[in-house]
Structure 1
């Protein structure tokens, strides 16, 4: 046993020795592919490499939640040491720090970053700030305490925040001036992500910034989110958005470059949103992702004449997790209103394990839709993808209707429903829908011919199955 350990130790030392003999530029290239903490540990093995951490152009300290709980102080100490020993002549291409606001650890990090920003060139800087209770079930008092701690942090280290390009926050309850203060302080900010944050006493959360490119709200609760002047905004995501204001939950103001919009799992009761009203000020949308989380369809099908002015540049649409009881024919309204649409992906799936409870938050509803022009033609759609496909009238009729309307479709991809082990484990009494798509190669070939006949030979039909533990056919 001892002899084996000695041999392994010798082999490891030989590998390190070979590594150390490489030129510094090659070593730096290797080290920058590691996390910064691993790079520093690697460099302490030899006097020849002790100076290399100070030469790194990327400083990324991005530990997982459990590691941070144990090593947050070490992250603060290491950040301070690395930044304080760097030469001002060596620019930092990317600075990314993930840490917990706890004790004075965050203040030590903030002061070290502020000093570095005053003396060095930093191209991109990111703070991913966690609260002392990393997990998300927080009381009102916890949210308020965390917000107070953060406000003190940004006040003490305003110079550090002024140079940030990305900021991720969680578990905060914002007051009236908090978001405006964050945006005013973070002058270089390009990406803002809020997770499990709210502003219950704030009637309107107003967002305005000259350089913001990306905005992400996840598990956030606000009365109304209003985007003011955001001339550089290109991507926006609302995931599990909860709004108290049923009239105007989201107001998109001046965002002329907004091209990618993701709206997922809207907690809106007894209301449907009109895209023509929601997108009236942002006609540059090219990528639209709507996730219904297997619940209520909260988007109202509209007449193409009304909707077309805001969907003229739409290229890709992803309609995810539509409820299985709903006829998917209503989705044709998007095809009618978006003449430039190239890709349409639909997922039909009752993904129950992600719901708040077995009873849906929003009662499932079918959607009534009638084509405005039964003879309309579409010239640009090239790809139709359906997950949750079943060879019944609902899906077969839909494929036939789409391919009849589309002149130049190139690919139709059809997949079985996605199967989630957690859904089966959590709701075993609901059972699993029987598999009714073709399985053998002969059945698949026959089905391809049937689909090809349905689409009258104008498309290349790809019929696939997708099951947990099985490869696609």
Structure 2
């Protein structure tokens, strides 16, 4: 149980035993009580108003208000979420929104940030919209984080359905333009802006927007989304499961982090123009048979300050072309490199090309993919993944940087005592004179389906002291490295 659920459970216990605990509660100051309430969902916070006289008005004094429809769904909620459960949740959310935002002129507390998550179903937004608008117009709400969510599986979303979602989103913004004034974070699902100006809506209108998350959103199948917003304050852009052919970031001067999780086009998904502040980039995709390898150096052309780079192949073949010195310019500021989803039978020595291209890297993390539950060949053939797990072959002239590596921490998550991994570790330890620490971890996110099977393909991460000492001996014999080799008990990164 995480800390949030523990705190919620504790408050519920207080609720059921309020006579016993009322004296203890009365000893706490208002700021402490508000701090406690600020860590639980709104549904739980409002329930505390019956605890005692001290608690009666406290939920309405919260400076940060989280009104999320998911908190009003039944627990546990069956999958998929039924339409009547969504309707009930929106009804409860509307009631909660009314209780917090009705008559905003009478409120003495400023809401520094309102997080509002809703479904565009029924007529509920016609009541929630005016409540949010009035609270914004009178200055009660200073910042708004809005998530318009949808429970339909992206694979089941037809063109007309996504257009309908876009119509609902556009209708909400058109009806309540005050939202634009303080909208700092926006999250959308299953929206196709084919008939709307995506640039105008997301950048020209949302002038305060600093974080944008788009899940299965686009402007049409295999379309190109060009972003040219020199005045935008956007700092974080997250794209997931998009049918866009490519995103061309022509100008986003404040953008600091971009992550694209799963693209369906079969070529390089990104191009950069002016992104002087971009420091973090994440590319995540399990390549099918149709995906083409692309040049990472060309994708990164236009960037100059990348500090953290994550490439996740989700257990499939590599979708980047073999490169070495071509990456030097783009990698010159790189401090942390994470290579994830490397199939357990793949060689890792090819990654040394990346380290040679970026001697400035201080932390290098590798996450191994070992999922026997996904080895069904018939399933892989039907889904376009057949014959994908070809071992990396980076046949290219030997490339060795003349600069000293700054690498101080090397991590393998999902470590297995295989020759492939041992050979890779020894090679890095020999080359990295500044290496201080080698972390060999079990994956902290085990798969339930894999757990029910036999021993993983690569064996288990050594657990007892004898096995660990044997691995340390294998790694250090004949290698001039003073790096500590650690097997963290907590696992995972």
Q: Same fold (TM over 0.5)?
A: yes
1:326–1:367: 8 Å Cα contact kept in structure 2? no
Distance 1:433 1:38 in 2: 45
User: For residues 390 and 454 of structure 1, do their structure 2 counterparts lie closer, same or farther at Cα, with a shift above 3 Å needed?
Assistant: farther
Q: Secondary structure at the match of 1:271?
A: coil
Structure 1 CA distance, aligned partners of 2:280 and 2:63?
Answer: 31
| Mapping of residues 326-365 of structure 1, within 5 Å | 326-351=346-371, 357-359=379-381, 361-362=384-385, 363-365=388-390
**Alignment equivalent of 1:288, drawn from 292, 309, 315:** 309
Shift of 1:311: 0.6
1:168-204 Cα offsets, whole Å, 9 max, x none, are: 1112122153422321222111111111223325631
Matched residue, 2:407: 381
Matched residue pairs, number?
A: 454
Q: In 2 relative to 1, CA 315–296 (structure 1 residues): closer, same or farther, beyond 3 Å?
A: same
Deviation of 1:459 after TM superposition, in Å, equals: 1.8
The CA deviation at 1:155 is 1.1
Q: CA deviation at 1:405?
A: 1.4
| 1:87-145 deviation line (CA, Å, top 9, x unaligned) | 465321221111111112123222211111111153431111123x4554333332222
Q: Deviations over 1:39-93 (max 9, x none)?
A: 2332255666544444321111224273472221221232133123344653212
Q: 1:400 to 1:17 in 2, by over 3 A?
A: closer
Q: Hey, what's the Cα distance between the residues in 2 that align with 1:9 and 1:118?
A: 36
What is the alpha-carbon distance in structure 2 between the residues aligned to residue 112 and residue 417 of structure 1? 46
Distance 1:336 1:186 in 2: 42
Q: How far 1:343 sits from its partner (Å)? A: 0.7
Match of 1:399 in 2: 425
Match of 1:279 in 2: 300
Note closer, same or farther for the CA distance 1:310–1:12 as it changes in structure 2 (3 Å cut).
same
Greater Cα offset, 15-24 or 383-392: 15-24
Question: Deviation at 1:239?
Answer: 0.7
Q: Report the CA distance shift for 1:380/1:431 in structure 2 as closer, same or farther (over 3 A).
A: closer
- Give the superposition deviation at 1:368: 1.9
Correspondence for 1:160 among 159, 163, 179: 179
Instruction: Establish whether residue 421 from structure 1 lines up as the match of residue 448 from structure 2.
Output: yes
1:294-336 per-residue CA deviation (whole Å, 9 max, x = no partner) reads 00101123132x2111111100111111123322111111101
* Other-structure match for 2:238: 216
SS at match of 2:380: coil
Structure 2 vs 1, CA of residues 438 and 303 (structure 1 numbering), >3 Å: closer, same or farther? closer
Cross-structure match for 1:64: 70
Deviates more, 1:316-325 or 1:455-464: 455-464
Cα distance in 1 for partners of 2:375, 2:278 equals 30
Structure 2: distance between partners of 1:103 and 1:142? 16
Tell me the secondary structure at the aligned position of residue 207 of structure 1: strand
Q: What TM-score, normalized to structure 2?
A: 0.82
Task: Say which SS state the counterpart of residue 149 (structure 1) adopts.
Answer: helix
Residue in structure 2 matched with residue 200 of structure 1 by the alignment: 220
CA positional deviation for 1:255: 1.2
Alignment partners' CA distance in 1, 2:400 and 2:329: 20
1:346–1:385 contact (8 Å) kept in structure 2: yes
Describe the shift of the 1:89–1:390 C-alpha distance in structure 2 as closer, same or farther (beyond 3 A).
closer
- State the Cα distance separating 1:223 from its structure 2 match: 1.6
User: 1:111, 1:160 within 8 Å by CA — same for their partners in 2?
Assistant: no
Distance 2:108 2:16 in 1: 39
Structure 1, gaps ≥5 residues long: 1-7
Alignment of 1:295-314 (within 5 A): 295-304=316-325, 306-314=326-334
User: How many angstroms does 1:394 deviate by?
Assistant: 2.2
Q: Say whether the 8 Å CA contact 2:15–2:51 is kept in structure 1.
A: no
Q: Cα–Cα, structure 1 residues 176 and 276, in superposed 2: closer, same or farther, change >3 Å?
A: farther
Distance 2:131 2:403 in 1: 61
TM (norm. structure 1) is: 0.86
2:471 and 2:375 mapped to 1: Cα distance? 34
- Evaluate the alpha carbon distance shift between residue 267 and residue 225 of structure 1 in structure 2; reply closer, same or farther with a 3 A threshold: farther
Pick which of 287-296 and 322-331 moved more. Answer: 322-331
